[in-house]
Amino acid sequence: MSVCGGVVLWSPPSAPVLPAPSAVQALHIPRPTVADIQKRGVLTVLMHHDATSYFLYRGQEHGFEYELAHELARQLGVTLQVRTPPPGVALTQWLVEGRGDIAAGVVVSDGGPSARVRYSQAYMATDVQIITRADQPHTPPLLHTTRPGLPEALHTTGVPSQMSAGSDGVYTLPEPVRIGWAVRTEHSELLATINAYHAQAKRSGLRKILYEKYFTTTRFLRSDESTAFSNRLSRYDPLIAQYAEQAGFDWRLIAALIFEESRFDPKRRSPRDAYGLMQVREIAAREVGVTDFYTLHGNLEAGTKYLQFLLRQFPDGRTQDRLALALSGYLLGPSRVRAAQRLAHALGYDPYCWKDSVELVFPLLEDAEYYQQINASFIPGGEAVQYVNAILQRYELYTRYIPRDFPSAHTARPRRPLLSVSEPTG
């Protein structure tokens, strides 16, 4: 069935009525076996948004725990989903609430498995002090370390009992704190898989490589390009915001488009003579009346105006669907998008709906059996779908960690926004 904006163009036979889910099922707690995670296709890992576990650097996901978890997900054949709790909320709290399968980068308890959480074998140890806040008794204590490369404050959920008493809420541990992963008690098979994976990561040298990457260098400590230290994606954020917002777009959307096109490299030039951050070609720049599209300012002006132009080529449908069609036009040109819309209509799908409609039809245009039906030629529709969805997913990611508004003398808000998209929640 294709439903978009209340329009139904075709309906299959009615599906059988299923019994209402039980109260336990309504919690959506991930199932306990590895096979169930693989069937679900997603491994959800909880980790802190900080300078070592997980952060965005030049618009891309990085972090020691992130890369470890990403490799585990790859080996399991599933997609990694990262969730980061707000400051002051312990990873294990979210874990026992069923918000994820694994909590990565937690302090391994010396007291054995608890009633609700079990810990993996530790893969890191560090000398620390525990700092508690007497004036904020409900705030989790911090693990303070001076070890080079490690963040000044790590995270924990409580003060271990084996420590030397101190003053002003500061305690010194008699031995290094051990760091590992945690699962809920019933996930014994997943815990065994994690322990085997960490042993493999040590033997293969992966863990050493990641340790040196994140703990012995300062590559990711640039405050203007890492979300661990600032609300920035790149050094070009103010300029991106200036031209994006003037064109009526959330600048984080344009940043997601730029990442897909150039990885924030203003000097990139493609074999098809596309230039700059937004990979603008002369034909597109000419369409919107910009001649200096090969300069930094001109490139941003031309790219945002061209996306604005494309959005106006698709005036029908919901905002998010029009945006997806415009983004596919940014890659392929509007005429090829209209060809996909014609085929969608011919096959009984809503031509103005992206999700589960044009998105499904686009790859068919790589097959002569379909593109000849609408008097078209080969169109790389599969590439267009991957391109659009990658930008939309990255936009959603950026909205989690980067505010739309930030102090900048260069940022100009639009008088009449062309595009109003509800901010994704994550």
pLDDT for 178 equals 84
- State the pLDDT confidence band at 423, using cuts at 50, 70 and 90: very low
- The residue-averaged pLDDT of 361-384 equals 96
pLDDT for 30 equals 53
Instruction: Give dist(CA 232, CA 235) in Å, integer.
Output: 8
pLDDT for 277 equals 97
With a cut of 70, say whether residue 202 has pLDDT above it.
Answer: yes
Q: Please give the residue that has the higher pLDDT: either 422 or 63.
A: 63
> Percentage of the chain with pLDDT > 70?
74
List pLDDT tens digits, range 14-72.
333 333 433 334 345 556 689 999 999 999 999 999 888 999 998 999 999 999 999 99
Strand partners, 106: 180
**Cα-trace Rg, the chain:** 25
Instruction: Evaluate whether 201 touches 109 at the Cβ level (below 8 Å).
Output: no
Regarding pTM above 0.85, the answer is no
Instruction: Give dist(CA 229, CA 231) in Å, integer.
Output: 7
With a cut of 70, say whether residue 406 has pLDDT above it.
Answer: no
Q: Where are the beta strands (DSSP E) in 14-91?
A: 42-46, 55-57, 60-62, 79-83
List pLDDT tens digits, range 144-197.
444 444 443 444 444 444 444 454 445 455 567 788 999 999 999 999 999 999
Strand partners, 125: 178
Residue 101 Cα distances to 94, 96, 122, 361, angstroms: 10, 9, 18, 34
pLDDT for 332 equals 97
With a cut of 60, say whether residue 410 has pLDDT above it.
Answer: no
Instruction: Give dist(CA 119, CA 198) in Å, integer.
Output: 13
Strand partners, 245: none
pLDDT for 217 equals 76
pLDDT for 226 equals 85
Domains of the chain: 27-215 (3.40.190.10), 237-401 (1.10.530.10)
List pLDDT tens digits, range 300-355.
999 999 999 999 999 999 999 999 999 999 999 999 999 999 999 999 999 999 99
pLDDT for 244 equals 97
DSSP secondary structure of 320-348: HHHHHHHHHHHHH-HHHHHHHHHHHHHTT
- The residue-averaged pLDDT of 275-283 equals 97
On the CB side of 25, how many CA atoms lie within 13 Å of its CA?
4
- Residues composing the chain: 426
pLDDT for 112 equals 52
Give the residue among 54, 71, 74 at the shortest CA–CA distance from 62: 54
- State the pLDDT confidence band at 111, using cuts at 50, 70 and 90: low
- State the pLDDT confidence band at 87, using cuts at 50, 70 and 90: confident
pLDDT for 175 equals 60
List pLDDT tens digits, range 203-250.
999 999 998 898 887 777 666 788 888 888 999 999 999 999 999 999
Question: Is 261 in the active site?
Answer: yes
From the CB of residue 87, how many other CB atoms can be counted at a distance below 10 Å?
A: 11
Please pick, among 71, 245, 261, 301, the residue that the annotation labels catalytic. Answer: 261
Across the chain, what does the average pLDDT equal?
81
